[in-house]
Structure 1
């Protein structure tokens, strides 16, 4: 039996206008239609670049800009009791984010992000 998840007005966070950030362990560490990880993030995680499968894919950003990927890598993720092997497209660019997770990933773990709550 699945229990419905409901938010009430008392769950709201007043004065909160920050972006939604979801944090989760990926690979060795203990948050679109593509899962994206920055090359610099992999380096900080001490993941050898030899693990990246060289495969160039063209990505189109939110403002229409394009970027080629360096390749792809599959990493273990863990979020609220759900372990998944997730394929990430690797890009070598500066970013405010370490990882961008896709809607399909969010749906697969049955997460319910709410920016209001």
Structure 2
């Protein structure tokens, strides 16, 4: 994401994946998030692994924005001074990310 290392607050913590694997973070970083007129600063954990995702937004972000996620409707609704903002899914984008994640990287192929 072209973020300078100097912006990362060095702190290691363990993250446990869905399959039980443990990854350690490099540190934390605070980045601005902009969604249809709403600006916030959010803290993210930085992990040094190849991934098809740029970020994963979790409970702190959901709570701060009073967001209501719906996995069934594949959207998130957020109250704003201008009314309800609805962020919808991108099924093709999700499929592309999943397919990319399943492909072995060149580093893995060489090993």
- Under a length normalisation based on structure 2, what TM-score does the superposition of the two structures give? 0.58
Give the corresponding residue for 2:69.
113
Structure whose residues are more often helix by fraction: 2
Q: Distance in 2 between matches of 1:56 and 1:88?
A: 13
Matched, 1:87 2:64: no
2:33 is the counterpart of 1:72: no
Match of 2:18 in 1: 62
CA RMSD of the aligned region, Å? 1.5
Higher RCO by CA contacts (8 Å cutoff, separation 6 or greater)? 1
Unaligned runs of at least 5 residues, structure 2: 74-111
Q: Distance in 1 between matches of 2:8 and 2:60?
A: 22
Q: Distance in 2 between matches of 1:104 and 1:55?
A: 18
Higher strand share: 2
Equivalenced residues, count = 73
TM-score normalised over the length of structure 1? 0.55
Structure 1: how far apart are the matches of 2:58 and 2:8? Answer: 19
